[in-house]
């Protein structure tokens, strides 16, 4: 068990490093059109801490809950987020977007911190509801002259990578000390959400 977790930890670090390098390279080459749309979408979730912690929290919680949540939650979030992104691109009104994003970090962080284990349908609905706010924010901030489809592909892919980071670190729950660390990270994520909700961050 311990050796398995020790193999997962470097994987998480590699995913995080790869995500950072991709975002840095992409940001340096950002432009218009299809390529620019993909680059903008890929980097957009990575430059907002409130987005990052919520997406990592989805992976953490999925790993904490185990199967089938381990697979379902990281799939539900990007799929529903793409729908929210379409609403944002089309200009549909959605009140309380920033509150919903900050609230997602608070709630998901607390669920991890409290080791909450609701029925899978409740977990799925909760994650899906928060995904709409995140997707809407990405879609509403579509850069001028960027391709909406490639932009959406970019931010969905970036979201998936952040989920994988959360899942990889979430696997530490298989160790007693790792379980404490994961729940502590949940507290930290929730505090980040509070900071954004109150305007401190």
**Per-domain boundaries in the chain:** 2-198
Using alpha carbons, list the distances in angstroms from residue 200 to 108, 126, 167. 19, 25, 28
The mean pLDDT value for 31-55 works out to: 75
Output 181-186 pairs: Cβ under 8 A, ≥24 positions apart: 182/60, 182/63, 182/64, 182/112, 183/112, 183/113, 183/114, 183/115, 184/113, 185/60, 185/112, 186/57, 186/60, 186/108, 186/109, 186/110, 186/111, 186/112, 186/113, 186/114
pLDDT of residue 20: 43
CB 135 within 8 A of CB 85: yes
Mean pLDDT, all residues of the chain: 82
Higher pLDDT, 95 or 32: 95
CA dist., res. 100 & res. 134, Å (int): 8
The mean pLDDT value for 108-130 works out to: 96
Residue 59, pLDDT > 60, answer yes
Residue 195, pLDDT > 80, answer yes
Higher pLDDT, 142 or 15: 142
pLDDT of residue 107: 97
| pLDDT tier for residue 9 given thresholds of 50, 70 and 90 | very low
- Tell me the pTM: 0.79
| pLDDT tier for residue 56 given thresholds of 50, 70 and 90 | very high
Higher pLDDT, 40 or 137: 137
pLDDT of residue 43: 81
Higher pLDDT, 131 or 12: 131
């Amino acid at each position: 068990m311990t050796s398995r977790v020790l193999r997962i930890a470097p994987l998480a670090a590699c995913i995080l490093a790869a995500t950072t390098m991709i975002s840095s390279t992409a940001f340096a080459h950002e432009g218009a059109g299809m390529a620019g749309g993909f680059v903008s979408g890929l980097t957009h979730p990575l430059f907002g801490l409130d987005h990052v912690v919520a997406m990592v929290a989805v992976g953490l919680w999925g790993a904490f809950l185990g199967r089938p949540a381990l697979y379902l939650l990281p799939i539900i979030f990007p799929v529903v987020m793409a729908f929210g992104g379409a609403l944002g691109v089309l200009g549909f009104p959605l009140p309380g977007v920033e509150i919903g994003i900050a609230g997602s970090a608070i709630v998901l962080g607390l669920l991890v911190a409290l080791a909450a284990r609701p029925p899978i349908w409740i977990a799925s609905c909760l994650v899906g509801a928060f995904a709409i706010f995140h997707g809407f924010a990405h879609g509403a901030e579509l850069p001028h002259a960027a391709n909406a489809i490639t932009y959406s592909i970019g931010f969905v892919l970036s979201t998936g990578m952040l989920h994988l980071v959360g899942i990889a670190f979430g696997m530490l729950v298989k160790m007693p000390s790792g379980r404490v660390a994961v729940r502590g990270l949940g507290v930290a994520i929730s505090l980040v959400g509070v900071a954004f909700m109150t305007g401190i961050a």
